[in-house]
Amino acid sequence: MMRRILWFFRSWQRKFSRSMMAGCLLAVLCGVAYVAEIAPQEKRTAAQRSGIEKLHKAQAALSEAPAIQTPAEQLDSFYAFFPDDNIVPTVLERLFAAAARENLALPQGDYRVAKESAGRLARYEITLPLKGAYPGLRQFIAQSLKETPALSLQGASFARQAADDIGVDAQVRLALYVRRTEEP
């Protein structure tokens, strides 16, 4: 086998000059260099170009962003988050319905308005005496806060009458923040 390769190489040497052989060897080396170095580099360059295009698109999106709001506009968008004060009965109905869904005893709730002297918000302080299973109480609180983003938990206290009681007595204090429809 080796003799054949040597014979083949010598026959090529006789047919072609050394400069032609060097040119062929150079062409083969160029092909190997292209496959080994240049092709992977082109892939990396294409990936970098697509990354640059994404950055340009993101920059264009940022330049199309709305102008900076004035402090008065920022305050208006802050107050726009809060519901009007006519939503209070609906929120109270939701709280009673959520307690019923979790099989909690809620004989009556207590709420009072605490108007702030400054600003356009009113705070309704809601106190709910609940009785039921502890997981149901936790689910009630979590679901109520999730359903009404303007509702916040002010405090909760839990007590058992006896160590072997299944039910827990709870006192849940919530605050509902709403926009006042009438000005102070």
Give me the CATH number covering residue 168.
3.30.70.60
What pLDDT does 24 receive?
A: 77
- Is the domain of 94 the same as that of 171? yes
The secondary structure of 96-165, three-state, reads HHHHHHCCCECCCCEEEEEECCCCCEEEEEEEEEEEECHHHHHHHHHHHHHHCCCEEEEEEEEECCCCCC
Residues 6+ apart with CB under 8 A from 122: 85, 113, 114, 115, 116, 177, 178, 179, 180
- Is the domain of 32 the same as that of 91? no
Reported as type and span, the H/E element at residue 174 is strand 168-179
Average confidence (pLDDT) per 10 residues, the chain, 184 residues: 77 72 80 83 88 85 71 84 89 91 89 80 92 92 92 93 83 92 63
What pLDDT does 152 receive?
A: 94
CA dihedral 175→181→182→183, nearest 10 degrees, is 80
| Whole-number Å distance between alpha carbons of 183 and 179 | 10
The answer to the question of residue 51 being in a domain is yes
Domain final residue, candidates 28, 62, 96: 62
DSSP state of 37: I
- Is the domain of 92 the same as that of 173? yes
Q: Containing domain of residue 172, as a range?
A: 83-179
The answer to the question of residue 184 being in a domain is no
